[in-house]
Structures are given as C-alpha cells and as structure tokens.
Structure 1
C-alpha cells in the first residue's frame, strides 16, 4: 500500500514541475511519547537532514537524491510535521534534538554529518552540543542565533496570526519571502498557486503553530559557542526571512561561512550551488 508520505511527495513533485527526493517508505521510532517518521536512502557515509519550520522532505528538492548517490541520507518529520504523531505538547530544541538522535540510532548509521535548515539549524546545534560523540560535522543553512531578534520576531508573530486566520495567506507569504523575486516571476502565478494547493492537504496546522512558537523562543547563542565539530554556515544572499545567519557563524569557533545566490528556501533555487559547497566541505572534513 502506498503511504501518505509517498502520496505527498509524488503530488508535490508534480505541482512543482521538478524532480524531488526519491520516494521512500516511512519508518517509525518511538521517542518520548512521539511516533517519529523517518526515511533512509542511498549508501555510504551517513548524513542526517533536519528540516525547517513547516517543511517536508520534498522541500530539499534534488538535495536528497544527489547526496544519496554517495551517502546514506536520513531525513525525518520531527514533531509538528508530516507523518509524525505526538501528544501535542510544547516543543523545545532538546525534544527535537532527541528525535533526531533516536532516528539516527534507529537507522544504525553510527556517526553522521548533519544538515540543518532554518529552525533545523538550531536543532542541529542543540544535537551537536548534547551528543558530540555522534555528530561528525554540521552544515547550517539560513540559521538564526535567536528568534527574539526584533525583525525576525515580527515575522514569526505575523506567521502565527495568519496560521490562525488565513492559512492560504500564510503559505503565500512564506513563498513570497522565501524565494527571490526573480524566481517567483519565473515560476509565475499558476505555479505558485499549485505549490500552495499541493501542500494544503498534508499540512499539520496545529503542529506548524507549535514549531513557529518554538522559532520565537529559540536561542542557540550559548550552545553555538560550545560546538566542537567542523561547521559550515551557509548564508542565502537574498534571504528575506532570516537576515542574521552571518552572525551565527561568529558564535561557532572555527566555523567556515559560505554565501549562495538564493532566498531562504534555498533548495528550490540554489540547490546546485548549495550541493557544491556542501560536497567540498564534507570532502575536506571527512574523517
């Protein structure tokens, strides 16, 4: 039987008009009362992908498929997204980091690299500082040191207002601010509306609200100073959501920083540039 996750990926790939991750059946692991969905594909050194707010596997675009050619790629739906079911309680970075760790352990991958996007970057830092024996290196994309930064907090407050009053407008705003104007213009109105329509049936709205609430209070400045593994911070030159990613690099000792020509939702329009930067970094840091 085809799982809901498989249907979601197939449907959204059609709506986006592009190839996305290879469809893989979800596996599940129980963590602190949550039944966490995850997927494994590829073969080789392990890399774990940690999504941003409201994100699904499809939002990695071609990243999963490309990395899976030479690596074991593990992705998951942490609480609030996708096929994961939990008790609906408030989210914390440690709770989500525990889910990532449990997924990696259930996958049997041993030590692994982590790529975290936006909120996922905060989760990745939390994991790296609480389980340094497991995390080989970090790639942090469009991450932010603190959700309390005034402009970012205003963004998150607006997200919450729209999630409670006009969910279509929330998704439209997310795309308009997450992608560059040139990319949106190239896509056209019809494609943008198709993306929204494709996402709507599978959105966990209550879960997304909990994720945004965590965005607002997430603060990894102290944890970032304790990161000991090799780290690449990837900033997006046209990010209209998070503007403090370069600051994040200043907190992490010895981190490298690389800018790519993309908006916040980097994998829609900057996947190849991101992959090149990531591959170069991982190749240099592989031990």
Structure 2
C-alpha cells in the first residue's frame, strides 16, 4: 500500500507488529531496494518506508537534500502510522539517514540495521560518486547504467551473465533511472555522520557487503568500529544484497531484530 505524505513523500506500509522503518539508497526507492524482502520483514513488523524526492511516487524537488530532513520525514511517517517506537534499516545512503534519525530521536529508535553503508566517503568512493553524478546530469543514462552495473554487482554475479544479458539489464535500468538521482547522489557526496556514531546507544547490526565495489568493505568496517557495541556480520555480495542474496540478507535482519526485541 502506498499513500502520500503532506510534503509530499510517498509512504509504503506493510504488515503488523513492532515498527520497522526502511531508508533506501541513492538512485533507488523502497520497492527497488527492499522489494524482495519486504514480505519477510512484514511477517513480524509494521514496515514503513518513504521514497526520497524524485524516487518512487515522491515528486522531485530539484532542491539539495539534507540528511536531517530525510530522517525527520522517516520519523513523521512512523508518526502517521501510529508507531511510538521502531527499529530502522538503512541501506547505502539510508545508513546515514538512519543514523541521523537515531541521534535526533533517540527515545524512539530501538535498534539499527545498517547495510552496505558508510559514515563518510573516502577519496576513491567520492570519485566514484562524482562520475555517477556527472553521467546522470549529462543524460548518458545507458552509460550510467552500465557503469553502475559494473560497480554494484559482485564479480561472480557479473561474470555469471553474458555481455548480452548485461546490456539488456543496463537498458532496462537506464529506462527507469529516478529523476531524483542527481540530488540523492549529491547528498551521498556530502553526507558525514562520523561525529554521530559514538552517540548511538541502541543495538546495532552492520551488514558488510564484502564484494562491494561501490561502497568498499573497509568503509563499512570503519563505520561499525565507531559505533559502541555494534555487531558486524559479513555477506558475500556486491552492493545489491537484495538481488544477489535476498534470503540471507532477510535472515540476518530478522534474526538480529528478534534478538534485539527480546532484550530487557
């Protein structure tokens, strides 16, 4: 079910039970990044997600985005669904969004699951994002899709496809590039939540995608090391766990949230 927030941000709601908010990645959406596992998450939770401006059904604002605004919109969606407290899953750019939500609303957040994400970019990853942004702005969306396929899939997953299959997948991706990609990737380049990490006081799981060429594993491990008591687990995928290993990703998330929920 998708409805529209007043601002307006499109909101996706599934299931029942303890609250679980979903923060998606740049150039994605709730459906694109969590679609394969939403049913599994909703089996035990009231799952609520928002699409950032220019993704899903949320109109593009053409204005710079800020982490705090996205974090507050995510919490506002929880309010609209009557959720007093909730866990948050943050994927890629959604990781910094989830972290800001936890710091800004500490009395509301019960747990964090951060997957394929970062606290701030290093020089190599910033260059990657700069090329991503430039290709989008230039209108070379097929080249952008090929570039992102090369980066986002693990080497084994990419090599399991023929060049013809890769071309067809890139063409499909290019036809559906979200209008908000530019402003979302711009936020990726500016995001820096390093100063927030020591303040996180809720159970946290960092899912490190070990074959990730977009957000390299060392960046993900740095994030985990700076969060007090964070648990780290590794998943042998590229940047798209929902595509390469959705069942394993789901099991990691639900297993951790179940244990966190049982804690006194």
TM-score (norm 2): 0.92
- Matched pairs, number: 258
Which stretch has the larger CA shift, 45-54 or 85-94?
A: 85-94
| Structure-to-structure mapping, 1:127-146, within 5 angstroms | 127-146=101-120
SS for the counterpart of 2:199 is coil
Determine if the alignment matches structure 1 residue 121 to structure 2 residue 63: no
Measure how far apart 1:197 and its partner are. 3.9
Partner of residue 214, structure 2: 241
2-structure distance, mates of 1:201, 1:92 = 27
Which stretch has the larger CA shift, 95-104 or 85-94?
A: 85-94
Residue pair 2:18, 2:45 contacting (<8 A) in 1 also: yes
Partner of residue 215, structure 1: 188
Determine if the alignment matches structure 1 residue 29 to structure 2 residue 32: no
Measure how far apart 1:200 and its partner are. 4.0
Q: 247, 255, 260: which is aligned to 1:280? A: 255
Measure how far apart 1:88 and its partner are. 2.4
Q: 233, 249, 252: which is aligned to 2:227? A: 252
1-structure distance, mates of 2:241, 2:32 = 13
Partner of residue 161, structure 1: 134
Structure 2 residue runs of 5 or longer lacking an equivalent are none
2-structure distance, mates of 1:118, 1:221 = 15
Residue pair 1:78, 1:99 contacting (<8 A) in 2 also: no
Query: Alpha carbons of 1:41 and 1:119: their partners in 2 closer, same or farther (altered >3 Å)?
Result: same
Residue pair 2:155, 2:211 contacting (<8 A) in 1 also: no
Measure how far apart 1:190 and its partner are. 4.5
SS for the counterpart of 2:58 is coil
Determine if the alignment matches structure 1 residue 264 to structure 2 residue 232: no
1-structure distance, mates of 2:169, 2:76 = 31
Measure how far apart 1:224 and its partner are. 1.2
| Structure-to-structure mapping, 1:150-229, within 5 angstroms | 150-165=123-138, 166-205=140-179, 207-229=180-202
Partner of residue 11, structure 1: none
2-structure distance, mates of 1:62, 1:140 = 17
Residue pair 1:61, 1:271 contacting (<8 A) in 2 also: no
1-structure distance, mates of 2:59, 2:102 = 25
TM-score (norm 1): 0.85
CA deviation profile, 1:172-218 (whole Å, cap 9, x unmatched): 2112211112212324345444444444444333x211111111111
Measure how far apart 1:65 and its partner are. 1.4
Which stretch has the larger CA shift, 110-119 or 269-278?
A: 269-278
2-structure distance, mates of 1:71, 1:139 = 14
Partner of residue 14, structure 1: none
2-structure distance, mates of 1:175, 1:193 = 10
